[in-house]
């Protein structure tokens, strides 16, 4: 039997999933980040990675054919020539790069996805101004560095992680405007996610009882790994994530980009994963209701009726997608006395924003929406699914799997084959 190990380095911890050749889960492993105290990030990552390898049940471990890792998008670090980090990594949401944005605007084409304080390229330019840069030789994403710990080769990435570094995922090369800078650092060689890079280092294979020919593959980002896990695979299929915010991703044969709306496309085989994120979502629900209330009150909603309310639920003014207006006011009035009616209005308002998001992607040229998978805290809310089905006009189903680690395990098994 051959098994495949996917490892997800997420925002709350590390997860591992082992699948067999039929894509059935054989084992799940979880490791939560320490909740308190200052800790050394790279040591914590390394400890978690090897702890996780040890937790894979021994009979499975002996037959793991391939491993793939996903990290959080735009979590980056610099290492020396031996792969030792020269400074603390910058996490996905670190906005210190805001000070180089002016400089970046002179370098990158207008509206390019690197023009954000948290992009990998903004982080690299910021790092270049730090004293530790003198010792740096390689610039890596979190998943690249963790992969290096397993296979031993430095300077390798994948085209999902490299998108916000400025890599041209259509031409599959670094663009001329980036090459022209002649950055004094080794940028990663970029592979298709899931491509085998090398065998697991022999000393690790021996120590942990993995096969000698176990392969370590190019990884991906956390949100793409979650998409891979969902079961969506044909153009027109989409995944909505109903977490703290509302994120939509629509698989398409056409690439769409519009930085005004924060819309960009990841490459997935020969297809494009188009998408955008709204500030509406579960955080607004959480502000008004407890989890128990959400469950109880949702069950009382008559989804065959409309709420009669016209909300744009936000916690504070401003949204980017599907309406690009930094001052967009939250619309939460009038508020009925009946909490069921109020919740109905909120869920319906969010469903309309979701629908408008998919409309916008389609107006820009993405494939026609055919089916929506759902992930995140709101995915299990059947009343909401009913409301969304009415608004979206297509079937709304739960994601087959929601674990990003499961998506990475699929990537280890078959790469991006199937997305063509
Ligand atoms: P994130 O990872 O973005 O923090 P999660 O996917 O864990 O988010 O989802 C958390 C969100 O799910 C919360 O903001 C909460 O309001 C929402 N949520 C939890 N239970 C329900 C429910 N029954 N119906 C709708 N939303 C829910």
Ligand 1 closest atom vs CA 12: 2
Distance (Å, rounded) from C-alpha 196 to C-alpha 162?
A: 17
Residue 149 has φ and ψ, to the nearest 5°, of -60, -30
pLDDT at residue number 36: 72
How far is CA 277 from its chain centroid?
12
DSSP 333: -
- Closest by Cα among 291, 225, 270, 258 to 365: 258
- How far, in Å, is the centroid of ligand 1 from the Cα of 294? 10
The residue nearest atom 23 of ligand 1, judged by CA position, is 295
Give the C-alpha separation, 40 to 405, whole Å: 23
Question: What is the 8-class DSSP label of residue 368?
Answer: P
**What is the model's pLDDT at position 200?**
98
Q: Print pLDDT tens along the chain (420 aa).
A: 899 999 999 888 899 999 999 999 999 999 988 877 667 999 999 999 999 999 999 999 999 999 999 999 999 999 999 999 999 999 999 999 999 999 999 999 998 989 999 999 999 999 999 999 999 999 999 999 999 999 999 999 999 999 999 999 999 999 999 999 999 999 999 999 999 999 999 999 999 999 999 999 999 999 999 999 999 999 999 999 999 999 999 999 999 998 889 899 999 999 999 999 999 999 999 999 999 999 999 999 999 999 999 999 999 999 999 999 999 999 999 999 999 999 999 999 999 999 999 999 999 999 999 999 999 899 999 999 999 999 999 999 988 899 999 999 999 999 998 898
Distance from C-alpha of 77 to C-alpha of 94, rounded to nearest angstrom: 12
Q: Residue 183: helix, strand or coil by DSSP?
A: coil
CA atoms within 13 A of residue 252's CA, in its CB half-sphere: 23
How big is the chain by its Cα radius of gyration, in Å?
A: 22
Does the C-beta of 378 come closer than 6 Å to ligand 1?
yes
3-state SS assignment for residue 237: strand
Residue 373 has a pLDDT of 97
Per-residue model confidence (pLDDT) at position 1:
83
From residue 242, how far is each of 38, 225, 287, 323 by CA, in Å? 31, 16, 15, 18
For 60, 197, 407, the CA distances from 210, given in Å and listed in that order, are 9, 17, 21
From residue 150, alpha-carbon distances to 153, 197, 200, 202, 334 in Å are: 9, 10, 6, 9, 57
Q: How far is the CA of 377 from the centre of ligand 1 (A)?
A: 3
- pLDDT at res. 38: 64
Residue among 226, 231, 239, 265 at smallest CA distance from 369: 239
Nearest residue CA, atom 2 of ligand 1? Answer: 243
CA distance 18 to 16: 7
Q: How far is it, in rounded angstroms, from Cα 168 to Cα 227?
A: 21
- 252-261 as b/e: b if 16+ CB within 10 A: beebbeebeb
Q: Whose CA is nearest to atom 7 of ligand 1?
A: 377
> Looking at the predicted complex, does its ipTM rise above 0.95?
yes
Ligand 1 pocket residue status of 89, Cβ below 6 Å = no
Q: How many CB atoms lie within 10 A of CB 397?
A: 17
Please name which of 222, 212, 245, 247 lies closest in space to residue 358, comparing C-alpha atoms: 247
pLDDT at position 413 is 98
d(CA 420, CA 408): 19
Could you tell me the two tokens for 25? Answer: 């889960």
- Which residue, by CA, sits nearest to atom 24 of ligand 1? 378
């Amino acid at each position: 039997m051959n098994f495949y190990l996917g490892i997800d380095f997420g925002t709350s911890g590390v997860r591992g999933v082992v699948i067999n050749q039929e894509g059935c889960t054989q084992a799940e492993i979880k490791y939560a980040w320490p909740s308190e105290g200052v800790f050394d990030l790279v040591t914590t990552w390394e400890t978690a990675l090897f702890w996780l390898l040890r937790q894979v049940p021994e009979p499975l471990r002996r037959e793991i054919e391939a491993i793939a890792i996903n990290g959080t998008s735009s979590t980056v670090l610099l290492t020396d020539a031996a792969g030792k980090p020269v400074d603390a990594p910058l996490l996905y949401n670190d906005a210190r790069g805001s000070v180089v944005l002016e400089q970046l605007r002179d370098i990158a084409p207008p509206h390019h996805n690197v023009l954000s304080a948290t992009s990998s390229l903004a982080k690299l330019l910021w790092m270049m101004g730090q004293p530790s840069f003198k010792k740096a030789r390689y610039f890596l994403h979190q998943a690249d560095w963790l992969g290096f710990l397993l296979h031993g080769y430095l300077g390798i990435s994948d085209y999902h992680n490299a998108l916000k570094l400025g890599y041209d995922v259509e031409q599959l090369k670094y663009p001329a405007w980036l090459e022209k800078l002649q950055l004094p650092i080794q940028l990663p060689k970029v592979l298709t996610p899931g491509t085998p890079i090398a065998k697991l280092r022999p000393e690790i294979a021996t120590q942990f009882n993995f096969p000698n020919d176990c392969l370590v593959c190019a990884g991906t980002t956390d949100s793409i790994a979650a998409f891979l896990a969902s079961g969506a695979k044909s153009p027109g299929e989409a995944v909505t994530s109903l977490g703290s915010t509302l994120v939509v991703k629509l698989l398409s044969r056409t690439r769409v980009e519009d930085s005004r709306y924060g819309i960009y496309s990841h490459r997935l085989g020969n297809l494009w994963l188009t998408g955008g994120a709204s500030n509406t979502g579960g955080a607004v629900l959480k502000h008004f209701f407890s989890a128990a209330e959400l469950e109880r009150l949702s069950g009382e909603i008559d989804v065959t009726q409309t709420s009669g309310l016209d909300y744009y639920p936000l916690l504070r003014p401003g949204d980017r997608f599907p309406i690009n207006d930094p001052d967009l006011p939250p619309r939460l009035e009038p508020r009925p006395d009946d909490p069921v009616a109020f919740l109905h209005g909120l869920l319906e308002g969010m469903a309309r924003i979701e629908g408008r998001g998919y409309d916008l992607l389609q107006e820009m040229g993405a494939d026609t929406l055919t089916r929506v998978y759902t992930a995140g805290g709101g995915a299990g809310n059947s009343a909401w699914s009913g409301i969304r089905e009415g608004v979206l006009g297509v079937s709304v189903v739960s994601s087959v799997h929601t674990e990003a680690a499961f998506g990475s395990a699929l990537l280890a098994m078959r790469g991006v084959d199937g997305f063509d």
